[in-house]
């Protein structure tokens, strides 16, 4: 029986120094005054993976040093069997016109090689560099055992049904791996309409054999999120970026009913033990909790 699987974490889980450089950019300088304000203490922010950042003087270069033993120890301590390490590509299309997060697949590949039963590699996608991105995805799937692609269309200003995203869906279908993407509002100061879950509707229809994960609950369009998972056999969703006790009541009801076979646990780097404890406190049947902790993810990834 599958155990606990965190379907939404990132490369800094095994290399914490990859986080923090994002605070040199306008988007994160704004977020630290708004959506990320609770993280700010005496002018400093501690990233989800433990790197302390002086917001007025953030680091400009990532540190790719691996801490695999520490990461495995964290998994063991929290009772987690496996975690997705997504290589996030985040673009600044309004302020900087460049990637402001570009987590390297090479670092995650080393972690997957060291502990393939604990780490699930998730490649990234840059729709401004389609051919290059597709070549890298194929390389890391075929040669390094990656099982997933996660991308962030909202920071590129693109909807999931944009023509520049379709080559990714076709490549994932060809390789037989699932794809995930953020839906819902943008925590960054960016227009959020492209994050509406219903914009995945025609993608799910055009690629019926492609398993799709809608990440981050789709809030504030919770009804659209529920609709997508309910109507499409190939569409799943995770509850990452929110602690379970803060989830929309409509979503919690659906998690115990029509979505009990579709919702997956994800932390977005938040403490897994707290996420698990709060999930246990939700008014859900034990079967639903068990499926959300890991069984749905095992089906999604074909584990």
Q: What is the CATH number of the domain that holds 263?
A: 3.20.20.140
- Count of all residues that appear for the chain in the document: 303
CA angle 149, 219, 211 (to 5 degrees): 30
pLDDT for residue 23 = 97
Query: Are 184 and 160 in contact, with CB atoms under 8 Å apart?
Result: no
Asked whether residue 291 is domain-assigned, the answer is yes
Domain boundaries, position 112: 4-14+65-301
Asked whether residue 264 is domain-assigned, the answer is yes
Q: Following CA atoms 135, 138, 178, 94 in sequence, which dihedral angle do they give, to the nearest 10 degrees?
A: -20
Q: Determine which helix (DSSP H) or strand (DSSP E) holds 141, and give its type and residue range.
A: helix 130-142
Give the single-character DSSP code of 58.
-
Tokens for 15, please give them: 């290399």
pLDDT for residue 94 = 87
The structural domain count of the chain equals 1
Neighbouring C-beta atoms of residue 113, cutoff 10 Å: 13
Neighbouring C-beta atoms of residue 245, cutoff 10 Å: 13
Distance CA 303, CA 294 (A): 10
Which residue's structure tokens are 């099982």? 147
pLDDT for residue 180 = 98
In angstroms, how far is CA 131 from the centroid of its own chain?
23
Instruction: Bin 283: left if φ > 0, else alpha if -120 < ψ < 50, else beta.
Output: beta
pLDDT for residue 2 = 73
Asked whether residue 81 is domain-assigned, the answer is yes
Q: Determine which helix (DSSP H) or strand (DSSP E) holds 127, and give its type and residue range.
A: none
The β-bridge relationship of strands 148-151 and 179-182 is parallel
Tokens for 201, please give them: 């509707």
Q: Which residues of the chain have pLDDT under 50?
A: none
Distance CA 72, CA 115 (A): 8
pLDDT for residue 132 = 98
Q: Following CA atoms 112, 175, 204, 236 in sequence, which dihedral angle do they give, to the nearest 10 degrees?
A: -30
Q: Determine which helix (DSSP H) or strand (DSSP E) holds 80, and give its type and residue range.
A: strand 80-86
Q: DSSP 3-state assignment of 236?
A: strand
Asked whether residue 50 is domain-assigned, the answer is no
Distance CA 248, CA 51 (A): 30
């Amino acid at each position: 029986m599958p155990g606990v699987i965190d379907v939404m974490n990132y490369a800094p889980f095994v290399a914490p120094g990859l986080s923090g450089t994002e605070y040199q950019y306008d988007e994160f300088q704004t977020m630290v005054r708004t959506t990320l304000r609770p993280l700010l203490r005496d002018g400093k922010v501690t990233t989800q993976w433990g790197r302390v950042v002086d917001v007025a003087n953030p680091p400009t270069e990532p540190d790719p040093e691996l801490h695999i033993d520490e990461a495995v120890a964290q998994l063991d301590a929290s009772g987690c069997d496996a975690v997705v390490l997504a290589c996030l590509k985040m673009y600044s299309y309004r302020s900087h016109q460049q990637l402001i997060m570009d987590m390297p697949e090479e670092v995650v590949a080393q972690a997957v090689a060291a502990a393939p039963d604990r780490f699930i590699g998730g490649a990234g996608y840059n729709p401004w560099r389609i051919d290059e991105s597709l070549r890298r995805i194929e390389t890391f799937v075929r040669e390094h055992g990656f099982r997933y692609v996660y991308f962030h269309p909202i920071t590129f200003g693109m909807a999931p049904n944009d023509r520049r995203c379709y080559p990714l869906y076709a490549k994932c279908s060809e390789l037989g791996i699932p794809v995930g993407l953020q839906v819902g509002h943008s925590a960054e100061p960016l227009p959020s309409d492209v994050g509406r879950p219903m914009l995945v509707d025609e993608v799910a229809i055009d690629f019926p054999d492609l398993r799709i994960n809608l990440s981050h609950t789709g809030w504030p369009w919770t009804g659209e999120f529920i609709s997508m998972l309910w109507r499409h056999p190939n569409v799943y969703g995770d509850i990452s970026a929110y602690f379970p006790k803060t989830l929309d009541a409509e979503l919690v009801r659906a998690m115990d009913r029509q979505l009990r076979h579709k919702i997956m646990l994800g932390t977005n780097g938040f403490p897994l033990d707290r996420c698990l404890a709060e999930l246990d406190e939700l008014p859900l049947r034990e079967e639903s909790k068990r499926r959300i902790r890991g069984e749905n993810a095992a089906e999604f990834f074909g584990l």
